[in-house]
Chain A
Amino acid sequence: MATVTFDKATRQYPGNPTPSVDKLDLDIADGEFLVLVGPSGCGKSTSLRMLAGLEEVNGGRILIGDRDVTNLSPKDRDVAMVFQNYALYPHMSVAENMGFALKIAGVDKTEIDRRVKDAAKVLDLTQYLERKPKALSGGQRQRVAMGRAIVRSPQVFLMDEPLSNLDAKLRVQTRTQIAALQRRLGVTTVYVTHDQTEAMTMGDRIAVLKDGLLQQVATPREMYDAPVNVFVAGFIGSPAMNLVTVPVTQDGIKFGTHALQIDRAQLSGLGSSAIVGVRPEDVELTTNPDGLALTVEAVEEMGADAYVYAVPQDKSITLDGSGEGALAKPFIARTDGRKPPMKGSTIYVYPKADHLHVFNPADGLRVN
């Protein structure tokens, strides 16, 4: 087991004007489950492959423990890519299926036996070790395949979108199992996904990337409560955070008729407008004319809660911070499922004071 360090690691493909991964600095703790997440093309897979040794590093270094692996061949790095499909061999027992790669590596028999038994214990396969794969259920076979990676006891597990081919239900089931198994094994793991829910539910910490640049590394909680910029704010959380561009006056930020209380010093850095972020569950919703006036377009009743989809009546107010897609993207508020507002009615919304996110439209950075 080991720490992993990206030290200004850079990957630029020949012919590309910008790096795919740009001076990535990232320290991953021993035993940590770190998730690299971001939209397609953000550099998450490239980062993982740099660590695996599949992509050349054009600048900076990568360390596993205190060993500089930047120029080592993949097989000399002591990492296991767990995203491949493993074959199971019909004539070999479960124990042989799990241990044969060690035999190839020249590990002696007693050591192979010991590692196979340990892995079998973790995977609840002890009683099946002498059986052939045919005599196992589908689920057990999957665990044998996983055992192949575990017995190698690599310093780091690497997983590249391992759930992307599963259907939704199985994906949920499996992500819990991978996370639980990782915690039992305590092996440092780097996991790549484009799915922020997967990232939030699995990672000890999450690293969000965009355009080859690291945006933020934090625990899921920190990431959710204090995104460092508009991109992270909009990317993490489902349904996504509402991001509303509103005017800034001398009295503060005007969220419709509601003045948002914010530190003077923070206010001074802003120009004439601010992007206010509010998560659907942090919306104060009222019929009194206090806040931003919205027209309800749809209500989704979930039982205990309801999601209200609404659009600003003042058409100069843009959502999502970008000014584009304001029509396509409604404001979403979570409310009591027993008395949701009617479709077509007017509501007023403003952020709860202690769950307020304010970003500077100039650079997208958080100001509060």
Chain B
Amino acid sequence: MALEITSAATDPAMFDLPWSIPLEDWPAEHLAALPRGISRHVVRFVRHGGTVIAVKEIKADLARREYAMLRALGRLDLPCVKPLGVVTGRETLDGMPLDACLVTTHLQFSLPYRALYSQVLRPDTDARLVDALAALLVKLHLAGFWWGDVSLSNTLFRRDAGAFAAYLVDAETGELHAELSDGQREHDLEIARVNIAGELMDLQAGGYLEEGTDPVGTSSQIVARYRSLWSELTGVERFETGDRWRIDERIRRLNALGFDVDELAMSTDVGGTTIQIQPKVVDAGHHSRRLLRLTGLDVEENQARRLLNDLDSYRAALDRLGDSEEIVAHDWLTRVYEPTVAAVPREFAGKLEAAEIFHEVLEHRWYMSERAGYDIPIEWAVADYVHWVLPNKPDERSILGVDTVAMPVLAWDDDEAEPRQTR
């Protein structure tokens, strides 16, 4: 059978990878990290032309399905890993057929939750992870995606100005519908609640969780967080016709949560005394879109909010409120943001993303100013930060990890003929 690569990006170098070898036996020279743990499928992180790709060995129809699903989610602008291609028609040199491979790009500066727990953590890390996952689930559900296997291990986290932004990694069980039923949403939530509790209990059993953390309590937070966000984004609101300011108020609240309102349904009752509003189409990325438009910087939502705040104070401090926003933004970019980021020595570039470093420098400046009792210029803050803080941070550009031990509930017999696909 001929090797066939289906890929959105034309990348002939993909043919050079050792596809005729079962993935679990790939030589170490190709691997970006040593395999750890066991998972439902064999997954390897592979060096490929200066980047890292994740390769998952899986049945051809599943690989194609997941590839198409990730592409569809990408087109909907949902946060998920980028699919690179599907490799089918693999066989060993002596002609034995091998399963297909799904190839995705490794998400730079992303953190698997287990990697986070092996560091010293801020006390509310679990809550922030759960928040990020709840927000991701809401976004996916708004788009009609039923996940079916919501868990911390199927998610990657990126730092986002002190919070986290969550990305979907595994879409194997997912389904895309025109709209989800309440039952489908509830089912995903229940799966999330049980999986997260299980994952935290496992960390606890391994001694990675801080004393006093309550896995069950933390996991049920996802339900509460999800529900409050869902009702804010989709709930119906009624008020007297005289209170029309409440329309603006609702939109402002949604903006503050990071969403733009694309479509709002408004109606009055028969007598015309009350108005009813309900957001119909909301889009995540309110701040990141604005920042992208003004500066070309493509960053996470909270980072964007942080950068925009700094941009606003820059504008106010220089008394340029009359100037066009675009022109001020350009000046801020070249005079504040870029010099700050450029002050980070090249050898520390792998530690944090530029926008996250900028956020940390702003935090650092705030503490320095507080201590000093006067405003510290950002140049001083970045120098101090690069000298005292950054060197002690771990490199997070390429933290890899496959740690799930998951398997289908089938084929529980046979110890003799262990099937490759259920490993």
By a beta-carbon cutoff of 8 Å, the part of chain A in contact with chain B is 13-15, 49, 52-56, 73-75, 81-92, 96, 100-101, 103-104, 123, 133-134, 137-143, 145-146, 149, 162-163, 165-167, 170, 173-174, 177-178
B270 sits at the interface (CB 8 A): no
**Contact status B216-A104, CB under 8 Å:** yes
B205 sits at the interface (CB 8 A): yes
9-residue interface stretch from B190-198, B261-269, B292-300, B306-314 = B190-198
9-residue interface stretch from B276-284, B346-354, B401-409 = B401-409
**Contact status B183-A165, CB under 8 Å:** no
**Contact status B149-A166, CB under 8 Å:** no
**Contact status B198-A87, CB under 8 Å:** yes
| B199: contacting residue among A89, A96, A173, CB under 8 A | A89
Measured between beta carbons, the chain B residues less than 8 angstroms from A146 are 409, 412
| B415: contacting residue among A84, A88, A139, A177, CB under 8 A | A139
| A96: contacting residue among B38, B201, B408, B422, CB under 8 A | B201
**Contact status A137-B201, CB under 8 Å:** no
Please judge, given known A-B contacts A56-B181, A84-B191, A133-B405, whether A100 and B410 are in contact too, CB under 8 Å: no
* Bound form: Cα–Cα A166–B409 in Å: 11
How many interface residues does B have (CB within 8 Å)?
Answer: 51
B12 sits at the interface (CB 8 A): no
Beta-carbon nearest neighbor of A146 in chain B = B409
**Contact status B173-A85, CB under 8 Å:** yes
A113 to chain B, nearest CB (A): 16
Beta-carbon nearest neighbor of B187 in chain A = A74
Beta-carbon nearest neighbor of B412 in chain A = A142
Beta-carbon nearest neighbor of B403 in chain A = A90
Beta-carbon nearest neighbor of A72 in chain B = B183
Measured between beta carbons, the chain B residues less than 8 angstroms from A143 are 412
Per the 8 Å Cβ criterion, residues 208-245 of B in contact with A are 216, 219
* Bound form: Cα–Cα A56–B187 in Å: 13
B418 sits at the interface (CB 8 A): yes
* Bound form: Cα–Cα A15–B178 in Å: 11
Measured between beta carbons, the chain A residues less than 8 angstroms from B421 are 165-167
* Bound form: Cα–Cα A68–B178 in Å: 28
Measured between beta carbons, the chain A residues less than 8 angstroms from B173 are 84-85
Please judge, given known A-B contacts A88-B407, A142-B422, whether A104 and B194 are in contact too, CB under 8 Å: yes
| B181: contacting residue among A54, A82, A103, A177, CB under 8 A | A54
Other contacts beyond A53-B186, A174-B412: 16, CB < 8 A: A13-B178, A15-B178, A54-B184, A55-B181, A81-B187, A84-B148, A85-B408, A90-B202, A104-B197, A138-B415, A139-B414, A141-B412, A145-B409, A163-B410, A166-B410, A170-B414
B252 sits at the interface (CB 8 A): no
Q: Which of the listed residues B182, B184, B405 has the most CB atoms from chain A within 10 Å of its own CB?
A: B405
- Give the 8 A-B CB pairs with smallest separation, nearest first: A142-B412, A89-B202, A91-B206, A91-B205, A143-B412, A87-B406, A53-B183, A137-B415
Measured between beta carbons, the chain B residues less than 8 angstroms from A166 are 410-411, 419, 421-422
B151 sits at the interface (CB 8 A): yes
Measured between beta carbons, the chain B residues less than 8 angstroms from A75 are 186-187, 190
Measured between beta carbons, the chain B residues less than 8 angstroms from A90 are 37, 202, 206, 403, 405
Beta-carbon nearest neighbor of A90 in chain B = B405
Measured between beta carbons, the chain A residues less than 8 angstroms from B178 are 13-15
**Contact status B186-A139, CB under 8 Å:** no
* Bound form: Cα–Cα A27–B422 in Å: 35
B340 to chain A, nearest CB (A): 42
Please judge, given known A-B contacts A55-B181, A104-B216, whether A86 and B406 are in contact too, CB under 8 Å: yes
15 CB < 8 A contacts A-B: A56-B182, A74-B190, A84-B191, A85-B172, A86-B407, A88-B405, A90-B37, A100-B197, A138-B415, A138-B418, A138-B422, A145-B408, A145-B412, A162-B408, A174-B413
Beta-carbon nearest neighbor of A76 in chain B = B186
**Contact status B195-A87, CB under 8 Å:** yes
| A142: contacting residue among B59, B201, B409, CB under 8 A | B409
B387 sits at the interface (CB 8 A): no
B40 to chain A, nearest CB (A): 6
Measured between beta carbons, the chain B residues less than 8 angstroms from A149 are 409
**Contact status B407-A140, CB under 8 Å:** no
B153 sits at the interface (CB 8 A): yes
A352 to chain B, nearest CB (A): 39
B203 sits at the interface (CB 8 A): yes
